């Protein structure tokens, strides 16, 4: 058959979403399965969000505000930055994709840690850019020294996922300062802070506060996690005005929907509730980590809303064993298993499954 799509995409692994809960419940013949596979927060939409969505749906025959003015103003006020530096998009993963489009030509290099967020290789390949994966340290965190050394004349982007998905590890201020000082001025450093709201270590810097003024730093944030809007797809990027402007040029027009904009505005009004929910997740994260370490001593400390079990070759079997007990986790074959922190009851069900299989 005549080839109609790019040959190089054949070798590219597809993004694997967490398994569908209803499917698993049906297969096991149980009322409900538990999904701890996609780093969502388990408490339902924030107060005010369903009403705001319903009101926005009444306008759904109209295009959204392409400038996303009201939301960008609100984010600007919340984070103390000017609105011209903010770009919103259909999830922060879409913004990462636009960022690659705005910076890389085919053959340019993108340096990132591995293992890290599985979308990075996909969006790099999509733009014809070359992924330069720098192996994590023995402690499952970024090796920033090696990442700086991996930068060449072809490097356009360096991505630091902080905290890192899927290992939950984080880089601290002193090492990130050093890295940013080492990176050439013409390489854009992306701080992917999808899990920032779950950070409790004061030494893990808030990219917006600490590095917001650096010309070659861009920060990615999402409303999918702590803010509970995963299903509505909204994230934002903060960079210097010229960088933000270039990214805006390659955005898919109208990609922040009318519903996503309304929901994000309502979510930002519910910040006290977000903080309350994050506190539960954080305390559960510490409880789950401690319990897991009795079974698997080298579970790394997590600054996110998930934990990493470095099970190596046992990862797939562990994932299957949890599923048999009605708990969906996220195995990365040959490497480890990522488990999202759920409600206390969900976490207990997971820990029982872990105990039975480890």
Query: Closer to ligand PMP at the Cβ: 169 or 314?
Result: 169
Among 165, 255, 256, 303, binds ligand PMP (CB under 6 A): 165
Among 68, 93, 288, 349, binds ligand PMP (CB under 6 A): 93
What backbone torsions phi and psi does residue 111 show, to the nearest 5 degrees? -95, 130
Q: Pick the closest to residue 207 from 217, 197, 222, 195 (CA basis).
A: 217
Is 347 among the residues that bind ligand PMP (CB under 6 A)? Answer: no
Name residues contacting ligand PMP, limited to 183-212 (CB under 6 A).
192, 194
Among 122, 151, 161, 171, binds ligand PMP (CB under 6 A): 161
Scanning 85-93, 181-189, 244-252, 347-355 for contacts with ligand PMP by CB under 6 A, the matching segment is 85-93
Residue the block writes with tokens 């820990």: 351
Is 336 among the residues that bind ligand PMP (CB under 6 A)? Answer: no
Q: Helices marked H in the chain — which ranges?
A: 21-28, 49-57, 69-79, 92-103, 119-126, 144-149, 173-182, 207-210, 241-250, 258-268, 271-295, 315-324, 344-357
Is 335 among the residues that bind ligand PMP (CB under 6 A)? Answer: no
Is 222 among the residues that bind ligand PMP (CB under 6 A)? Answer: yes
CA distance 278 to 198: 6
Nearest approach, Cβ of 349 to ligand PMP (angstroms)?
Answer: 22
Whole-Å CA distances, 285 to 2, 108, 308, 355? 51, 38, 11, 17
What would the two tokens of residue 115 be? 């293992």
Scanning 24-32, 44-52, 88-96, 290-298 for contacts with ligand PMP by CB under 6 A, the matching segment is 88-96
Q: Pick the closest to residue 71 from 203, 250, 336, 267 (CA basis).
A: 267
How many residues of this chain interact with ligand PMP, rule: CB under 6 A? 13
Residues that bind ligand PMP (CB under 6 A): 39, 91-93, 117, 161, 165, 192, 194, 222, 224, 230, 235
């Amino acid at each position: 058959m005549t080839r109609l799509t790019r040959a190089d995409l054949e070798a590219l692994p597809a993004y694997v979403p967490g398994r569908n809960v209803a499917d698993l419940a049906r297969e096991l013949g149980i009322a409900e399965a538990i999904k701890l596979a996609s780093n969502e927060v388990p408490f339902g939409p924030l107060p005010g969000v369903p009403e705001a969505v319903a009101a926005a749906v009444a306008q759904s025959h109209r295009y959204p505000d392409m400038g996303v003015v009201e939301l960008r103003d609100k984010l600007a006020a919340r984070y103390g930055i000017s609105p011209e530096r903010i770009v919103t998009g259909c999830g922060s993963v879409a913004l990462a994709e636009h960022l690659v489009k705005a910076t890389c030509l085919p053959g340019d290099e993108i340096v990132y840690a591995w293992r890290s967020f599985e979308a990075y290789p996909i969006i790099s390949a999509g733009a014809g850019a070359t992924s330069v994966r720098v192996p994590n340290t023995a402690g499952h965190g970024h090796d920033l020294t090696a990442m700086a050394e991996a930068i060449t004349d072809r490097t356009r982007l360096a991505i630091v996922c902080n905290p890192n998905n899927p290992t939950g590890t984080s880089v601290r201020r002193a090492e990130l300062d050093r890295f940013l000082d080492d990176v050439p001025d013409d390489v854009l450093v992306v701080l992917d802070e999808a899990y920032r709201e779950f950070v409790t270590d004061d030494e893990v810097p808030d990219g917006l506060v600490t590095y917001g003024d650096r010309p070659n730093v861009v920060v990615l944030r999402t409303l999918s996690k702590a803010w509970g809007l995963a299903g509505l797809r909204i994230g934002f990027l903060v960079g210097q005005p010229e960088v933000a402007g270039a990214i805006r040029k390659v955005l898919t027009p109208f990609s922040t929907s009318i519903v996503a904009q309304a929901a994000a505005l309502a979510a930002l009004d519910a910040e006290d509730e977000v903080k309350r929910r994050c506190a539960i997740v954080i305390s559960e994260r510490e409880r789950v980590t401690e319990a897991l370490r009795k079974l698997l001593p080298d579970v790394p400390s997590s600054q996110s809303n998930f934990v990493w079990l470095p099970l190596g070759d046992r990862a797939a079997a562990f994932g299957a064993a949890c599923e048999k007990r009605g708990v969906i986790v996220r195995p990365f074959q040959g490497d480890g298993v990522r488990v999202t922190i759920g409600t206390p009851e969900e976490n207990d069900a997971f820990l029982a499954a872990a105990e039975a299989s480890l």
